[in-house]
Amino acid sequence: MPPKRAVITGLSLITPLGVGVEENWRKLLKGESGIGRITSFDPGGFSTQIGGEVKDFNYEDYMDKREARRMDRFAQFSVAAANMALTDAGLDLKELNPEEVAVMIGSGIGGISTWEEQHRIFLERGPNRVSPFFIPMLIANMGASNTAIALGATGPNYAIVSACASGAHSIGEALRLIREGRAKVVIAGGSEASITPLTLAGFCAMKALSTRNEEPEKASRPFDAKRDGFVLSEGAGVVIVEELEFAKKRGARIYGELIGYGMSCDAYHITAPEPNGRGAILCMESALQDAGISKEEVDYINAHGTSTQLNDITETIAIKSVFGERAYKIPISSTKSMIGHLLGAAGAVEFIVSLLCIRDNIVHPTINYEYPDPQCDLDYVPNKAREAKVNVILSNSFGFGGHNATLIARRFE
């Protein structure tokens, strides 16, 4: 029996540019930046004082206040994004067999704000004052778990933790669940809320973040010669993945067909990518093979594009290795140039943005591309959106530890 086909029928975005798909898309096409000085705490003592905060999110719009208070912010994002995506898909889960509905929402870090708060209470007031909700709010599976509880979805449910590849891996695993007939509907994506003092201090200690504090909107500059690190951000992206025949039967709007999923590991270093792009090459080639398409069919690449020295060079090397001379003809852009790095949510958000490129036949820009880097010499769609016929997209996500994921989708005819 041939594997079942998977299509995307619902989308949601929560990013530093706003809450909602169309608001995000409009700002991305205009090249707006969502990066600013951190406001949730005083960043004055940090070498990096900027980030991509979600400023207009009200959890009461999406869930019961009492339940929300028992969730870390990343889990609140998960539940809200799932509800928005289901609304966009026109799906009422009460009309489905709950055993056929799966939830796959990953997170790279999970409830670190809860960890920091409860550790402070532990030190100041003693062990008996730590909240009984500490562990259930902290652990990274609670984005997926709280979403399933809120929706009554009793099918497969787990949370992938693979650093910055978590969201992409989650959507890729959703494809496998659909193909194998283990679910008819999968709520998949990633969520992250880790703009906290301790997290910021840790990334600052690694020298991983941009220190362009006086020009936050210009701090994230993937592939630009003057890039100096990534920008820490928060948010979520969730898609509704459905089995094709089920989606067609209910007359669903289809954003695209999910056709390819590649995975690999650099097995090289805890933070740095393998210099020759070996893991990224294997990942993209695996996704192309899984999709059953040729390299010539790819119309657009949404790069991992973090704005770090090593990542941007390595990804460029990998793309050229996979696509050869054609690499110079494929438009490539980095969503992170405008929203920063959403860590475990990044892959899901960027895949969603890629689907919008298919929908509207337009590619969003890589902003802040001002000084060409001779080692990054591809077409990064600098600073201005571009109309282009986009039938097939490839989206890359590469995480600390060498975790790699590539997703491929195509226009559904």
> What does residue 103 show for φ and ψ, rounded to 5 degrees?
-130, 125
Q: Which two tokens stand for residue 256?
A: 């695209």
Catalytic residue selected from 169, 283, 341, 376? 341
Instruction: Answer yes or no: 119 catalytic.
Output: no
Instruction: Answer yes or no: 304 catalytic.
Output: yes
Q: Three-state SS across 196-241? A: CHHHHHHHHHCCCECCCCCCHHHCCCCCECCCCCECEECEEEEEEE
CA-angle at 196, arms to 195 and 199, nearest 5°: 90
3-state secondary structure of 185: strand
d(CA 116, CA 20): 29
Q: Which two tokens stand for residue 84?
A: 């928005």
d(CA 326, CA 60): 48
Q: What ranges in 104-214 are assigned the alpha helix state H?
A: 112-125, 134-138, 142-151, 166-179, 197-205
Report CA-CA distances (Å) from 362 to 259, 293, 339.
Answer: 21, 22, 18
Catalytic residue selected from 169, 304, 364, 403? 304
Catalytic residue selected from 164, 283, 357, 376? 164
Instruction: Answer yes or no: 269 catalytic.
Output: no
Catalytic residues: 164, 304, 341
